[in-house]
Structure 1
Amino acid sequence: MRYPEFLKENGTIGFVAPSFGCSTEPYRTAFNHALDKWKKEGYGIDIGPNCYENSGVGISNTPEKCAEELTEWYCRKENDILISCGGGELMCEVLPFVDFERIRKADPKWYLGYSDNTNMTYLLTTLCDTAAVYGPCAASFGMEPPHPSIKDTFALLRGKKLSFESYELYEKESLKSEENPLAPYNCTEPVRSRFFVPDSKGKLKESSKVKLQGRLLGGCLDCLANLSGTEFDRTREFCEAYREDGILWFLEACDLNVFSIRRALFQLKHTGWFAHTAGFVFGRSLNGGTMMDLDEAGAVLPVLEEYRVPVILDADFGHLPPAIPLICGSMAEIGGISGKITISMSLC
């Protein structure tokens, strides 16, 4: 696994928009405020040509132009790390035009983003054997005051912190709007993860504590299911290469409801992705509420029970912030007790 160098003092932060850019409110103001803060802290700024674009369909620009920016900004020496401007809808259409071979041969650098950016964070790991960070996009760094998770993410990018704990509360309803673009997370709901461990017969039973260890791999299920079986899918080869470590899957969903989540897991399971798994950690899904008596536990546990590994639900990441930043490709130890988790990542 290739691990990039961490951001140094007075280093340069690059920005790209392979999904949505920051052309509209509240994202434009929040992004600009984040840039101002980084500049005051002494960091250089390297803004890609699509960051303020809004001429694409579900992404900032045409797939060709988004791919050109992504490849060039990853490979250029003028920046030290990359942060995506935002998520979106159709970053998958960018992939055929990305030069992953050139990226694989370039010096590795940290790429930060989540949701639609799974198309980069996941493929950097599985195609290029390069670690990436699944965490908040650029505009989130403009909130005032910054949530501890935002500070934690930037600390990770600087190599100052690789161990994290659950936060106390999460956001169910955002206060961010065009009129209030710098609103912080509106955290009102208690964070409480659920732990399931296999009994002697392999049946997953709820537990007050859990422990998992393995190599982190995952992202947004909406994107992962879409990648499965395409020419960009090298997941089985990756899992085989790191079989001795065990694969620790981290997964969450945006648009998928509980039935869609179950179908997506069925797809990945029968494509062979979950060989050599060491466990599953599910974040908070945006649309994962109960439907027709099926809740998230019912969507997940029956599909994964045969693997006889622990499962965590409602972990502190996903589309309902805040989110613990996760290094896709790193080794991790996750402990859970009384509804809270701790995660320690190592670059080995």
Structure 2
Amino acid sequence: MRFPEFLKKNGTIGFVAPSFGCNIEPYKTSFNHALEKFHDMGYQTMLGPNCFEGSGIGISNTPEKCAAELNKMYLSDEADALISCGGGELMCEILDNVDFDAIKAAKPKWYMGYSDNTNFTFLLTTICDVASIYGPCAGTFGMEPWDESIEDCFSLFTGKKLMMQSYPLWEKEGLRDEEHPLEPYNLTEQSLVRGFLTQKDQMGEVRAFETEGTIEFKGRLIGGCMDCLVNLTGTKFDQVKLFNERYKEDGIIWYLESCDLNVFGIRRAIWQMIHAGWFEHVKGFLIGRPLHFGEEMIGLDQYHAVIDLLKEYQVPVLMDLDIGHLAPMMTLINGSTASVCAENGKVKINMELV
């Protein structure tokens, strides 16, 4: 695994929009304010041509122009690290024009984003063997004041912190809108990490049970948004089996979260990834709160959507983590070796770049 250099003091942050750009409110104002904050902190910024674009379908521009921007900014020496402007819907359509061969041969560079950006954060690590960062997009850094999770994120981006832990509260309903573009997170809900272990009964059937005891495991970290991951499964961009084989001695920790998927969509996604062989050599699962938190459909909830299938691996499954679309989110490094410890409804994830 190749690990890029962290952003240095007075370094240059590049911004790209391979998914949505910041052309409408509240994203435009929050992004501009984020740029001001970075400048005040002493950093330089470099903007790709699509950052304020909105002429594309589900992304900022045409797939060709979005890919060209990403290729140029990643391969350029002018930007030290990249942050995506935002998530979106159809970033997958740029992939045929992303030059993975050139990126694999180039000096590694940090790329950070989440949601639709899974299309690059995940592939950068599984195809190019380059670590990437699953974390907030550019406009989030415009909030006033920065949430603790944003402080932690930027500490990781600059190499000052590699340990993440769950936060006390999470946001069920955000307050940021066109009239309040810099509004911080509206943290109202108590955070509680739920841990599940498995055991075989007398008949040899594997059963999952929830535990309040300490759960610890270690492995190579990989994952992202299931909406995007299931779309990549089985395509020419799916090189997960090769990734698993490279790091089978370490074992794999999968982190998964979802945006548009309902509980049945989550279960179908898990089923498809299982049958694609993605979870070979797995050591444990980290499941983020789904955007449709608390949803139940025809007797299926967010827990059984996952546990009923993953229990067959007989590894720990931690659920309702601060990962993904319901803020705040822990910033995670794809490709890092992570040590996970869950106890008393909280989790700590210590990442090593080895």
Normalised-by-shorter TM-score class: over 0.9
Mapped to 2, the partners of 1:292 and 1:334 lie a distance apart of 33
Give the equivalent residue in structure 2 for 1:233.
238
Give the equivalent residue in structure 2 for 1:90.
90
Give the equivalent residue in structure 1 for 2:207.
203
Matched, 1:297 2:291: no
Give the equivalent residue in structure 1 for 2:42.
42
Mapped to 2, the partners of 1:159 and 1:294 lie a distance apart of 41
Matched, 1:244 2:249: yes
Give the equivalent residue in structure 2 for 1:171.
171
- Deviation digits for residues 69-127 of structure 1, max 9, x if unmatched? 00110010001000000000000001001000011111001100000000000000000
One-letter amino acid of the counterpart of residue 164, structure 2: F
Please state how far the C-alpha of 1:200 moved relative to its aligned partner. 4.6
Please state how far the C-alpha of 1:299 moved relative to its aligned partner. 0.2
Give the equivalent residue in structure 1 for 2:54.
54
SS at match of 1:184: coil
- Count, aligned residues: 348
Mapped to 1, the partners of 2:92 and 2:255 lie a distance apart of 20
Matched, 1:66 2:66: yes
Please state how far the C-alpha of 1:28 moved relative to its aligned partner. 0.4
SS at match of 1:268: helix
Question: Cα RMSD over matched residues?
Answer: 0.8
Mapped to 1, the partners of 2:289 and 2:155 lie a distance apart of 23
Mapped to 1, the partners of 2:113 and 2:315 lie a distance apart of 28
- Deviation digits for residues 207-260 of structure 1, max 9, x if unmatched? 113112110010000000000000100001100110011110000000000000
Report 1:303-322 matches (<5 A): 303-322=309-328
Equivalent of 2:217, from 207, 212, 215? Answer: 212
Matched, 1:334 2:340: yes
SS at match of 2:86: coil
Mapped to 1, the partners of 2:326 and 2:301 lie a distance apart of 17
Mapped to 2, the partners of 1:77 and 1:250 lie a distance apart of 31
- Deviation digits for residues 289-318 of structure 1, max 9, x if unmatched? 111221111100111111110000101111
- Deviation digits for residues 254-309 of structure 1, max 9, x if unmatched? 00000000000000000110111111110011024111221111100111111110
Matched, 1:20 2:24: no
Mapped to 1, the partners of 2:347 and 2:311 lie a distance apart of 21
Mapped to 2, the partners of 1:290 and 1:11 lie a distance apart of 47
Mapped to 2, the partners of 1:264 and 1:60 lie a distance apart of 27
Give the equivalent residue in structure 1 for 2:272.
267
Mapped to 1, the partners of 2:289 and 2:95 lie a distance apart of 27
One-letter amino acid of the counterpart of residue 35, structure 1: L
- Bigger shift: 250-259 or 291-300? 291-300
Mapped to 2, the partners of 1:242 and 1:203 lie a distance apart of 28
Mapped to 2, the partners of 1:238 and 1:32 lie a distance apart of 38
SS at match of 1:187: coil
Mapped to 1, the partners of 2:351 and 2:320 lie a distance apart of 19
One-letter amino acid of the counterpart of residue 8, structure 2: K
Mapped to 2, the partners of 1:186 and 1:260 lie a distance apart of 28
Percentage of identical aligned residues: 58
Unaligned runs of 5+ in 1: none
One-letter amino acid of the counterpart of residue 304, structure 1: L
- Bigger shift: 288-297 or 307-316? 288-297
Please state how far the C-alpha of 1:187 moved relative to its aligned partner. 0.5
Matched, 1:162 2:168: no
Mapped to 2, the partners of 1:277 and 1:164 lie a distance apart of 21
Matched, 1:287 2:288: no
Mapped to 1, the partners of 2:346 and 2:217 lie a distance apart of 14
SS at match of 1:129: coil
Mapped to 1, the partners of 2:219 and 2:207 lie a distance apart of 21
